[in-house]
Structure 1
Amino acid sequence: MMRRYLVPLLLAAVARTAHAQEATPFEGIADEPARTAIRAIIADAAARGLPTAPLVTKVREGLAKRAAPDRIRTATALLMERLAVAQGAMAPSQSVDELAAAADALQVGIPASTLRDMRKIWPSKPLTVPLGVLAEMVANGVSRPVATRRVRELLLKGATLTQFATLGTTVGRDIAAGLAPDAAMELRSKGVLSLIESRAGIGTTSAPLRPTGKN
């Protein structure tokens, strides 16, 4: 599953836009019933106001992997269902990247209630990167309760997108080095929280008293 962080996020957005502008790759699907079914899935998604670019990308990924036509059809249908759930949870956002990231989170078992909670915490900020980090942490073995709790804390504390992206990178590196996934998430997220709190403390430090001129 491709993750979306900063430069990779921008590249993914450009790729999806380019794919949306190209002809849908139906011609690459040899099986006619599957091809017809996939056409219908994408048409249905468009009629429901769902983004079709992620669906086209899913078809292309299946073709690139030489997946069986029925598997491509099933994967595309399941993605459409996740996008529909994501659209409701992320409302009023219509960002293709945000909805795609929410669909990724749903795929690894993050419930829609968590997505709605994240939207409530950040009603007007893009959740693409935090959602991507959450989904990747769970995919890398971090338990859903730990990953969800830590990401939620960072949202409440106002962590930056860069801090979220760095968290994902460092936790992934720690896990690859042999640290237990939950321990890596706890350790690195606490570090980010400490940094946020220390900077907040500096910003709220009282100004020094000025001399009044009186003896």
Structure 2
Amino acid sequence: MTRLIRSRGLRRTPFTGVMGAVGVLALSALCPSALVAQDSATPYEAIDDAGARTAIRTLIADAAAKGLPTSPLVTKVREGIAKRATPDRIRNATSLLVDRLEKASSALAPTRSSEELAAGADALQAGVPASTLRDMRKLWPGKPLTVPLGVLSEMVASGVSQSVATRRVRELLIKGASSAQFASMGTEVRNDIASGLAPNAAMELRSKGVISLLNYQAQVLNGMQPASPAPIRPGTPPKK
């Protein structure tokens, strides 16, 4: 999966931040003791302010006690240290991330994995409202939303308007797009934007291409013989 690296101070790139943490978060879900290992691996000693150091320890311990994933928090601390951020800034960034994880946990209830919580927190950071997360959970009550949430966050971060990105992701959820199709579409949209296509136009183009394919597959399953969907290319409006 193509990764997009973006410098945002102490901010993670939504899509890569979510997907890069999947392995560690899955381990935490399977083995609660992994949370302790993650916490002890945090380089607190590199934070020279004792008050901030204690506050960060408490934030992460409290998050673990609430069942929130601590890997994103540990990563946030490490990023701050690597970027030589002040202790107060690291503490504030960690506290804000805890708040987003809690909001994501509430919005994605009743079922939400650690990966989904991290993805939901990134979506909230990108400006996606909690109501959108709740709506996505209702549309996909039994499916993991990690990738759709990550793609939504990255599309907004890439310049696609929130309304367009949300509407198109919602349509794909309703149509039953797979996580692989979401990820592929996200890559194509980013490539189109890098090639000069307007973000909203790129999102519309690629999402309609996926919907066209899904409609074709549905018609085939229903015994119809539709014409194969035409390939979608930048500058070629997809057929509705």
2:22 counterpart residue number:
13
- State the alpha-carbon separation in 1 of the partners of residues 85 and 163 from structure 2: 33
State the AA in 1 paired with 2:176: G
Instruction: Choose the corresponding residue for 2:86, options 58, 68, 75.
Output: 68
Deviation, 1:4, is: 4.3
1:148 counterpart residue number:
166
TM-score normalized with structure 1 length:
0.89
Q: Are 1:171 and 2:180 counterparts?
A: no
- State the alpha-carbon separation in 1 of the partners of residues 200 and 90 from structure 2: 33
Q: Is the 8 A contact 2:47 2:53 kept in 1?
A: yes
Q: Which runs of no fewer than 5 residues in structure 2 stay unpaired?
A: 1-11, 29-33, 226-240
> Secondary structure of 1:170's match?
helix
2:200 counterpart residue number:
182
Deviation, 1:59, is: 0.7
Deviation, 1:44, is: 2.1
Write out per-residue CA displacement over residues 104-136 of structure 1, whole angstroms, 9 at most, x where no aligned residue. Answer: 000011000000000000001000000000000
State the AA in 2 paired with 1:117: D
- State the alpha-carbon separation in 1 of the partners of residues 146 and 182 from structure 2: 10
Deviation, 1:41, is: 1.2
> Secondary structure of 1:159's match?
coil
- State the alpha-carbon separation in 1 of the partners of residues 151 and 182 from structure 2: 7
State the AA in 2 paired with 1:12: A
- State the alpha-carbon separation in 1 of the partners of residues 24 and 121 from structure 2: 17
Q: Are 1:90 and 2:90 counterparts?
A: no
1:212 counterpart residue number:
none
Instruction: Choose the corresponding residue for 1:194, options 197, 207, 212.
Output: 212
Larger gyration radius, structure 1 or structure 2: 1
1:50 counterpart residue number:
68
Give the percent of matched residue pairs that are identical in Structure 1 and Structure 2.
Answer: 63
Deviation, 1:77, is: 0.3
Deviation, 1:15, is: 4.2
Aligned length: 204
- State the alpha-carbon separation in 2 of the partners of residues 184 and 141 from structure 1: 10
- State the alpha-carbon separation in 1 of the partners of residues 78 and 196 from structure 2: 34
State the AA in 1 paired with 2:21: A
The farther-off stretch of 31-40 and 140-149 is: 31-40
State the AA in 2 paired with 1:108: A
Deviation, 1:3, is: 4.2
> Secondary structure of 2:124's match?
helix
Q: Which runs of no fewer than 5 residues in structure 1 stay unpaired?
A: 208-215
Q: Is the 8 A contact 1:90 1:115 kept in 2?
A: yes
Deviation, 1:94, is: 3.8
Q: Is the 8 A contact 1:58 1:75 kept in 2?
A: yes
TM-score normalized with structure 2 length:
0.80
Write out per-residue CA displacement over residues 37-67 of structure 1, whole angstroms, 9 at most, x where no aligned residue. Answer: 1112112212323222211111111112221
Q: Is the 8 A contact 1:4 1:128 kept in 2?
A: no
Structure with bigger helix share is: 1
Q: Is the 8 A contact 1:4 1:12 kept in 2?
A: no
